[in-house]
Amino acid sequence: MRITIPVAKVLAALLAEPDAQRYGLDLMRLTGLPSGTLYPVLHRLSAAGWLESDWETIDPVAAGRPARRYYRLTAVGVTQARQALADLRAAIPDDRPSWGGTEPTGAPAW
Amino acid sequence: MRITIPVAKVLAALLAEPDAQRYGLDLMRLTGLPSGTLYPVLHRLSAAGWLESDWETIDPVAAGRPARRYYRLTAVGVTQARQALADLRAAIPDDRPSWGGTEPTGAPAW
DNA sequence: CCACCCTATGTAGAGTTCCGATACAGTGGT
DNA sequence: ACCACTGTATCGGAACTCTACATAGGGTGG
């Protein structure tokens, strides 16, 4: 499973509340991803066994909207996602290299 | 400038020590990226004005190695890179929902 | 009744990015 | 002669992203 930024956003959204029922449009709002990015990501994660999903059991006519497909992390997915995000955060650490940035004419030693 | 994970790794490596002279092989080691990924990233960052670079002035015969090409962040690059990394970190927030250290193996003191 | 927006999932295709392989060039070892 | 090492760099196919678009039902307005 290749971790990219869209993938990481999806994993972060799912990990934030592992018990919540998440569906496509919901994740689009949480991650800010367009549907053309999100759904392929969900399919890849499912194919990799990180996610499982099933259709909401409602009558679309009665509910007045299309049925949702709910996605949730598998046990494997939770572990892998946590590891992947931890690795990613470790690779992009906070900087703070001694000097505080846009100092007005402070430039000391060099 | 599109921020991807390889791009972010390069920016993080350069921001960690903005004064250091960084060259390709050096950044390959720091970021773990292969040359076929790193050099296109460096070129894209240069084209975007975030990086500038020049050749090391040595005699390769006397030094016993090829000359290096040194890359460093421009003033614009420093600002943009900081912003980009901050945005990325914000997009991939820390989880820790309801987690008691259930790890049987090697989980240290925290 | 058609146009249009809303919820919802999903595909198409162009463009961008990634990364293994490869190239080049010089040093140095066996 | 051949391989390993330090360097920079490109090529090309696979993978990924994302703007459109497709589908489908409900509701509202002209």
Q: How is residue A65 annotated by DSSP?
A: S
Pick from B15, B92, B93: CB nearest A97 = B15
Task: Identify the CA nearest to A38 among candidates A75, A47, B90, A29.
Answer: A29
Q: How many CB atoms lie within 10 A of CB B103?
A: 8
Q: What pLDDT score was predicted for residue B97?
A: 57
Instruction: Return left, alpha or beta for A5; rule: phi > 0 is left, psi -120 to 50 is alpha, else beta.
Output: alpha
User: Measured in angstroms, what separates residue A24's CA from nucleotide C24's C1'?
Assistant: 50
d(CA A46, CA B12): 31
pTM for the whole thing? 0.85
Q: What pLDDT score was predicted for residue A34?
A: 95
Element (H, E) at A69: strand A69-73
Q: What average pLDDT does range A41-62 have in this prediction?
A: 90
Between B93 and B71, where is the model more confident?
B71
Q: Which of B76, B95, B96, B110 would you mutate first to test chain A, the one with the most A CBs within 10 A?
A: B95
Beta carbons of A6 and B87 less than 8 angstroms apart? no
Q: How is residue B52 annotated by DSSP?
A: E
Query: Is residue A97 very low, low, confident or very high in pLDDT (cuts 50, 70, 90)?
Result: low
